[in-house]
Amino acid sequence: MIVQPYLFFEGCCEEAVNFYAKALGAEITMMLRVKDAPERPPEGAMPGLTDDKIMHASFRVGQTIVMASDGGCSQASEFKGFRLSITADTEADADRMFAALAEGGSVDMPLGRTFFSPRFGMLTDRFGVGWMIVMDGQ
């Protein structure tokens, strides 16, 4: 069994996926536009999803596949009640990823040493997705 996050960016999926490719070195494994789908969604199923919008995308961050879409493009994206957590291999990696994800977003807890990690911090990126960066060990 695999649990995978599926994020709905309500119109800015392509921008977000490209941002994660740059900020995290994510590998984009699929980017399917509505106009390129073998079948269009049923009428009214995704009201604001026009031909150039992203019907489905996936990208790999380390060993994890994250899926995404423009959703219905009907409202602002709201990512509440969860954060995506990344375990960094080194302090330099933690620093780099935190700074890259925080660009245009907001820092919720600055990256620093804690009782459980040499580097831990929380931020919300410019798309509203919450992240935690952590290093294993002390």
Q: What is the pLDDT of residues 71-119, one digit of tens each?
A: 877 777 889 999 999 999 999 999 999 999 999 999 999 999 999 999 9
The one-letter amino acid code at 129 reads V
Note whether 65 and 91 are same-domain residues.
no
CATH code, domain with 38: 3.30.720.100
Task: Quote the pLDDT of residue 71.
Answer: 83
| Average pLDDT value for residue range 2-10 | 94
Q: Which of 137, 85, 131 is nearest to 109 (CA)?
A: 131
The boundaries of the domain holding residue 24 are 6-69
Q: What is the pLDDT of residues 29-57, one digit of tens each?
A: 999 998 888 877 666 666 677 778 899 99
Residue partners of 40: CB distance under 8 A and separation at least 6 = 34
HSE of 105, CA atoms in CB hemisphere, 13 A: 24
Residue 115, phi then psi, degrees to nearest 5: -65, -20
